[in-house]
Amino acid sequence: MNKINEFIKWAQKNGWKISFRNNSETNLPQNIIERYIIPEEYKAFLTIVEKCINSEGNMWFFCNNDYLRNEENSFRYNEFEIISLDAADGDDELINGIKNYWNEHLPIIFNVNGEYEYYAINIEDQKIVYGFEPEFEESIIVANNFIEFIDKIIRGEIKL
C-alpha cells in the first residue's frame, strides 16, 4: 500500500488528475471478474483510485468505471482486442490467437496520443507487458508485477 501511495504522490506531482474512491470495494463489472483473475496489488490500487489520467487526457490507468464503458464512441477496456479482431478479417486461427492473448492480458493503461499503446497484466504470471499498434498482441515484459511497475514509473525507468 505504501508504494501505491508513493505512486499517487508522484502522479499528482507530475500533473496527473487523480480522484479517490469513497468506498473500499473494487466494484468491477461481472464480465471482468469472470474473464480475469485480478492480482491483489492491482485490486488494492482500484480500491483507492477512482480516476487516474494524465494532464492531456490521452493516457489513463483503467479504474473501476473505465472497465464499465461499452459505448462505441469511447475507448473500451478491450478496444485494442476489438481492433485486432476486426483486422483478422475472419481468419479463424488469427481470431483464436487474438482472443487467447487478451483472455490472458488485462489492460491497465491506454495511451492514445499518436500511436496506440498499452500496458497490461498477464494474469497467468502477473507480469506487466507493454504493447502497441499495429500488432497489439506482440508485447514485451516491463515489470514482474504491478508494484514493481509503479515503482519503475516513480524512478523514471518507465516513462508515462
In which band, very low, low, confident or very high, does the pLDDT at 1 lie, cut at 50, 70 and 90?
Answer: low
Helix axes 40-48, 2-13, angle to 10 degrees: 50
DSSP category for residue 104: S
pLDDT tens string 3-28: 999 999 999 999 999 999 987 777 89
Q: Which fold has domain 2-154?
A: SMI1/KNR4-like (3.40.1580)
- Find out whether 117 and 124 touch, Cβ atoms under 8 Å: no
Q: What is the pTM of this model?
A: 0.94
- Find out whether 67 and 60 touch, Cβ atoms under 8 Å: no
Please count the residues of the chain. Answer: 160
DSSP category for residue 118: E
In which band, very low, low, confident or very high, does the pLDDT at 97 lie, cut at 50, 70 and 90?
Answer: very high
